[in-house]
Amino acid sequence: MSRVRKAVTFNHNPLLQLSLSQWRARLVLVVLLAGMATLLGRSLYLQGVHNEFLQAKGESRYARVLEVPATRGRIADRNGNLLAVSTPVSSIWALPSDASRLEPGQLRQLAQLLEMNVTELNNRIANGRDFVFLKRQVSPELADKVAKLDLPGIYQQSEFRRYYPSGEVMAHMLGFTNVEDRGQEGVELAFERLLAGQPGTRRVIKDRRGQVVEDVQSIRAPRDGEDVALAMDARIQYLAYSALREAVQQHHAKAGSVVVIDVRTGEVLALVNAPAFNPNNRAHLSGEQLRNRVFTDTFEPGSVMKPFIAAMAIESGKFRASTVIDTYSGSFNIGNNTIHDTHPYRTLTVAEIIRKSSNIGTARMALAFGPEHMWALYDRLGFGSPPGLGFPGEASGNLRPAKTWKPIEQATMSYGHGISVSLIQIARAYLAFARDGDLVPLSLTRVDAPPVGVQVFSPRVAREVRQIMETVVSPGGTGVRAQITGYRVAGKTGTANKIENGHYVNKYVSSFVGLAPVSDPRLIVAVMIDEPSADQHFGGTVAAPVFAQVAEGALRALGVTPSVPLAPLQLTAMGVERGLDGEGM
Amino acid sequence: MIRFDALLVTLLIVLSAACGLGVISAQHEARKLRSALEREQVRAQNLEVEWGRLQLEQSTLAAPRRVEGIARKRLGMISPDAGQIIVLEGGMP
């Protein structure tokens, strides 16, 4: 019994006797602890060390980066009149995948608002890309109406559009911007770095309704473009433009340009070209209209160069204004070539050579000097090098090195053939006469400090040549029509044959460059008319009246006191003056 | 002793709750002000835009061509001829 009892004792179940080894329990414990440590470590890692990712994820639920637009600087004239302003507009764009679900009725509404026809609109949307502009630069009012339609897949983005209130009057001077509001031409391009703004960005927290509740950080502050104040005077610019346009129409000319420069500072007060264009609507533009001829076009200046030679001659001491020069009765041989005066004179004084515009007389003066001497003068006057105003497409003109000059070439160059210059170069060179020999750089922007120049002629010579040039506009000279009431003016006419394919043809460039008032010059006005074809082509008849109109108005606008009594002009020699313009080869 | 402890704890709880509420209301206030500021900024921007537009309009209206046209056509003005101008001594600036 006891054996049996013993045998069946439950306590001594051999299976239960089999004790579990200690390590198994420990292993489980360690595994569990390790798991917990891993989780803890991971959470510590995510919370403390590697927290950017999750934070960014979290932020993306409520934080937004907003673009802060910057406006482009305005352009104003010297008196603060606005010439170019950017105003916000909207561009309507579509997400074709969403917009293709638009119903015909909605499409028609949209098309009507955008003034497009429905097929065109459909074509745009159906063209399969994932972003398509429907219409760029619409007015904010129209954009609001489009937004109110609340169409799927139709969005808008705000942009800026440049407006030019003065239209074509300033077109070449100001240039224009492209659809991204970046400068493309003129001042807009020349001053792009100043004018362009830099859009900024900032990070904000937005609430459920899309309102900004907290400014987290300003990533980059927007920088608005700076305003540019030009030296230009809008009144003079307008005067110049209307006078030029009238002259170009009247003489059926191909083109024309006028530059007005303030003598005291070298500031460009006006700069116009015809034909011009409307910068606010540039749908059908031709290169002819776009070209800023004052800077980009070079031409053979003709007789307007003669005063420089006279100044050089007088400066050297070899000649005086009263020195008599043999002009060979209108025909002068240099080697195998002959140069002519249209009106033969046997002898002329230096002063008369300028007044009557004698080619032979000028050539004879020039040939008294070596080519290097003349080249150095032209070089100092800025011919052959770009005017350096930073304007796009400035031409430097053509001034060949003195070594290559043959005597006949030196002779023709003295009266402005065989050399090419731009109107701005010649206008600037005349500063030397107006400023008593001091040649200063030009400026498109306002100049407040007195400019530093180079002395090209001595003051005495400059004054003397000025007086000679005054005789050009007095009865018996070639530029009588340049006279204006109330002020004494001085200047020089030019009529140059044009070259086509290496030959001089029966087309002309008429010019007049002058300064006023003679006693204390304030202005230089340079006029160039390209191919006047209405049976008049002399600088004295075509360009000089434009000079008179511009100079008179400009002097009045600047408030310059009239220096002579305001008596009606005596233009008695009007008939003679045409024949006296003795140029041509 | 126990009573004092309990009192302290209660006081601290109340205090922290008050602080919490304070934070909430300050935050709320800040957000309200922020959105007000935002609105004002938008308004300022719009005013700026409008100013630009008005300046543009002024420039357009004051364009010399328009002024000349009105002076000549509507007011019948003409440029004076040489004989019609009288300059007063010392009268010019």
Annotate A506-570 with DSSP letters as a single string.
Answer: EEEEEEEEEEE-SSS--EEEEEEEE---SS---HHHHTHHHHHHHHHHHHHHHTPPP-S--PPP-
Considering CB atoms only, which of B34, B86, B93 is closest to A215? B34
Beta strands, E only, A164-285: 200-206, 212-220, 228-229, 255-262, 268-274
Other Cβ atoms less than 10 A from the Cβ of B9: the count is 10
- Partners of residue A398 on adjacent β-strands: A420
Q: Which residue of B lies nearest to A236 if distances are taken between CA atoms?
A: B64
Question: Is A562 touching B (CB cutoff 8 A)?
Answer: yes
pLDDT at A583: 42
pLDDT at A575: 39
SS (H, E, C) A390-435: CCCCCCCCECCCHHHCCHHHHHHHHCCCCCEEEHHHHHHHCHHHHC
CA A197 to chain centroid, in Å, comes to 18
Interchain contact, B63 vs A569, CB within 8 Å: no
pLDDT at A584: 38
Interchain contact, B62 vs A81, CB within 8 Å: yes
Beta strands, E only, chain B: none
Interchain contact, A566 vs B82, CB within 8 Å: yes
Q: Which residue of B lies nearest to A73 if distances are taken between CA atoms?
A: B52
Per-residue pLDDT for A572 more than 70? Answer: no
Query: What pLDDT, in 10s, does the model give residues A369-414?
Result: 999 999 999 999 999 999 888 888 899 998 999 999 999 999 999 9
Which chain A residues have a beta carbon less than 8 Å from that of B92?
Answer: 559, 561
Interchain contact, A82 vs B56, CB within 8 Å: yes
Closest Cα of chain B to A324: distance in Å? Answer: 38
CA distance readout (Å), A136 to A25, A150, A178: 76, 18, 12
Q: Which of A461, A389, A464 is nearest to A425 (CA)?
A: A389
pLDDT at A106: 83
Interface of A with B in 153-192 (CB under 8 A): 163, 165-167, 169
Closest Cα of chain B to A131: distance in Å? Answer: 28
pLDDT at A585: 36
Per-residue pLDDT of chain B (93 residues; tens, 9 = 90+): 678 888 999 999 999 999 999 999 999 998 889 889 889 988 998 898 888 888 888 888 888 888 989 999 999 998 877 677 777 766 444
Query: What pLDDT, in 10s, does the model give residues A225-256?
Result: 999 999 999 999 999 999 999 999 999 999 99
Which chain B residues have a beta carbon less than 8 Å from that of A239?
Answer: 64
Residues of B with CB under 8 A from a CB of A: 30-31, 34-35, 38, 49, 52-53, 55-56, 58-60, 62-65, 68, 81-83, 85-87, 92-93
Which chain B residues have a beta carbon less than 8 Å from that of A562?
Answer: 85, 87
d(CA A496, CA A512): 11
C-beta separation of A547 from A482 below 8 A: yes
- Average pLDDT of the residues in A167-180: 89
Interchain contact, B34 vs A212, CB within 8 Å: yes
pLDDT at B4: 85
User: How long a stretch of residues is chain B?
Assistant: 93
Interchain contact, B82 vs A82, CB within 8 Å: no
Give chain A's mean pLDDT. 86
d(CA A520, CA A435): 9
**DSSP state, A484?**
B
Which chain B residues have a beta carbon less than 8 Å from that of A242?
Answer: 65
C-beta separation of A494 from A216 below 8 A: no
C-beta separation of A470 from A255 below 8 A: no
- Partners of residue A524 on adjacent β-strands: A261, A515
Closest Cα of chain B to A370: distance in Å? Answer: 48
Structure tokens at A584: 């041509």
Interchain contact, A211 vs B86, CB within 8 Å: no
**ipTM attached to this prediction:** 0.70
A137 half-sphere exposure, CB direction, 13 A CA radius: 12
A175-212 burial by CB neighbour count: b if 16+ within 10 A, else e?
A: bbbeeebebebbbbbbbbeebbbeebebebbeeeeeeb
Other Cβ atoms less than 10 A from the Cβ of A323: the count is 15
Q: Which of B34, B45, B29 is nearest to A205 (CA)?
A: B34
Considering CB atoms only, which of A87, A212, A485 is closest to B53? A87
Query: What pLDDT, in 10s, does the model give residues A346-361?
Result: 999 999 999 999 999 9
pLDDT at A16: 61
Query: What pLDDT, in 10s, does the model give residues A258-307?
Result: 999 999 999 999 999 989 998 888 777 787 888 889 998 999 999 999 99
Burial of A80 per CB tally in 10 Å (0-12, 13-18, 19+): exposed
Per-residue pLDDT for A576 more than 60? Answer: no
Of B33, B59, B81, which to mutate for an interface test with A (greatest number of A Cβ within 10 Å)? B59
Which chain B residues have a beta carbon less than 8 Å from that of A238?
Answer: 63-65, 68
pLDDT at A1: 46
Which residue stretches of A116-221 are H helix? 118-125, 140-149, 171-174, 186-190, 192-195
A520 half-sphere exposure, CB direction, 13 A CA radius: 7
